[in-house]
Structure 1
């Protein structure tokens, strides 16, 4: 599939739509001007002193009325062309996205193979390629704290769902980290679960929070020594899947989530033995069939002799999780076969299914990363469902840049805050709202293609027809539109429209 061909098609269709919209805007102004001239002709006819003057004015009014009707007919035809162009543009965009995804996957696989041969073997754990950041995470944290940026000071409400937004650098991640010590010190919770969609979260690593008064579970990709590991969070999760979370309620919920995103309910856990040499623990890849466990995620899930034995071996350091195996459309997939979005979705939902208990504090930094917009909305709905069934009281705080995440949190149990702010949490009223509304109300961004802006432009065009007689409505509508402070490039088809509205507003003021 050649992406260049479809990229050219998308560009061509986008230009076609822009040209058609420019034509439509021009026709709309011509229709408005024709209406003004028709009204002026009728006014002249009513004031004419002679029959010939009356006839001339009425004739001119009729001519402008016919002209306006023709222009309106042309606008209808243009609207039909724009709709067809949009349909073709959408088709080409979908094909282009598919082609680019395939090419990107091939490139990633090629780079992964290249890196596998280039990176020193000391950076491997099993078959994982690990990345070493250039700056220590603690150094980054101390550097940020030196900026004296004030953290949001209001703690979350027990048992509620919280969404925190704000531009980069306003302290969302710092606030999440501060809740770890606060929740433990204030006996706010009995367990803290940290989830992360970013490699740059500021949560403590697993094992670095032993001084807390509650249990601490970090399901991020960071590991000791400033390395990133795809498998580390799943190794921690395995303890709970075959341990305290091995029960029918967790199994049923987890199985439902897997089925909804296209996987079967069967989950395979593959373990490797752990060898010791000169006091150092060395993991190696050799596996035996008896180290594999297949569990059915259903209401019948319960502890067996096999899971208990494997749990003891894991706790004693004799074995560790080597891989997770799932089935999709009859095909067996392990962790390396999954997309980054699938791994994040599975890790998040499984961690909640098997680890949430009463008195849990769930912290999630940037859940939208790697997720398709449809899954961004679904992951919040699944979180609400899982948490509601696993615990009577669970407090959740999510930091996000996504309007889809914001609009998916239920109003009846959700609180929201946009940083920087000193105001307390407020009740969310954004559930089910469209993206443009959320961007405007919560993120302070007005899209020039949003419904609200389109309505304002239409209001300007409607009131412009009577502006010669009564300019006040047009001036009010124009002021409302121009006060939105919409920033447009000169190549944008709407740029000339807003410029013309501004010019007419100055003329009538």
Structure 2
């Protein structure tokens, strides 16, 4: 076994149960390989007999997730696996795919146990939608005559008041057998209905996350969430894991979460006693997080090894100017070329920003050829 695979196996075996385990690292550092290795290893263990986890739930903020083929192939057949990504076949993706899984879970025979009213209300509030939704279906080939008797191409119901019935179970069965397929969902805001195509990609991603936690997570789940930050506004990056966990909590679901992210807002969004981090490629073990409450710049520096969130052009020109000043070389034409280039960028830092004072100093130096 290679050193990387050994490290991956150790990290999975030592995962902090019931907590949020956060993987960070540069592109190509191995985060996606770790997720692929971890899910493959879990698949190789008979669930639940030999594993500490009874269920695996896979979510992805990207269409190009690295979950192994077995996950998205078996997810529709194996009740111990749930895939809420976008892959439906080799080189084929579908934006509606995760919603089809969620709707089958909502309508299925186990939905009632998972429908905590508090959790439903919380999700509706966070998603800014009403309880009334519409499901739009398409009949399978040669199935219209037999199916249209009990299900129309559009059904409407209130998810707060939803109760499993023979009809809902029959619809779930028809969806499972592919005699019926979900075409889209319409959600209601105030008096208007919006289909999924009317929503932004960020809205759809947040909806998949919260409704997935509501209807698809089970007790003792291991939940993989690959790059949840994609398409999300920074404010939503800061709240998505917190809202996801709150949904699980209100639904009385105990779960372990493993997140791979490039976002300092996501990495620092969970309280330190509930989160553990590992920075690839050199991280060898989980460390209790110390990122909660830190500024984004501090998180970028301490966890992502990025020492400034400024444009690299600004950083390089500033460092060039300061190096000449440190050496006392006030007569170098290159110093003033660098100052001119930096000032030409028309930067507007806030008064409390160190760059504000640096620019004032450089402007004085440019005019007087000496420091103020």
Q: 1:309 to 1:257 in 2, by over 3 A?
A: same
- For the pair 1:293 / 2:164, whether they are aligned, the reply is no
8 A Cα contact 1:199 1:221, kept in partner: yes
Stretches of structure 2 that go unaligned for 5 or more consecutive residues are 330-372
Matched ranges for 1:169-318 at <5 A? 169-184=28-43, 185=45, 186-205=50-69, 208-209=73-74, 215-243=80-108, 244-247=110-113, 249-250=115-116, 252-276=118-142, 290-298=152-160, 300-318=161-179
Q: 1:393 to 1:320 in 2, by over 3 A?
A: same
Residue aligned with 1:201, SS: coil
Measure the CA separation in 2 of the matches of 1:249 and 1:502.
68
Measure the CA separation in 1 of the matches of 2:232 and 2:213.
18
Measure the CA separation in 1 of the matches of 2:116 and 2:307.
42
Shift of 1:329: 4.0
Measure the CA separation in 1 of the matches of 2:76 and 2:51.
13
Aligned residue in 2 for 1:344: 205
Bigger Rg, which one? 1
Residue aligned with 1:236, SS: helix
Q: 1:199 to 1:148 in 2, by over 3 A?
A: farther
Aligned residue in 1 for 2:255: 394
- For the pair 1:496 / 2:360, whether they are aligned, the reply is no
Q: Whose helix proportion is higher, 1 or 2?
A: 1
Residue aligned with 1:345, SS: helix
Q: Tell me how large the CA RMSD over aligned residues is.
A: 3.3
Aligned residue in 1 for 2:272: 411
Aligned residue in 2 for 1:126: none
Deviation string, structure 1 residues 472-498 (Cα, Å, up to 9, x no partner): xxxxxxxxxxxxx998232x5x75346
8 A Cα contact 2:297 2:309, kept in partner: no
Residue aligned with 1:408, SS: coil
Shift of 1:179: 1.7
8 A Cα contact 1:247 1:302, kept in partner: no
Q: Select 2:18's aligned residue among 139, 144, 159.
A: 159
Residue aligned with 2:11, SS: coil
Measure the CA separation in 2 of the matches of 1:214 and 1:261.
27
TM, length-normalised to structure 2: 0.75
8 A Cα contact 1:189 1:214, kept in partner: no
Shift of 1:427: 0.5
Aligned residue in 1 for 2:230: 369
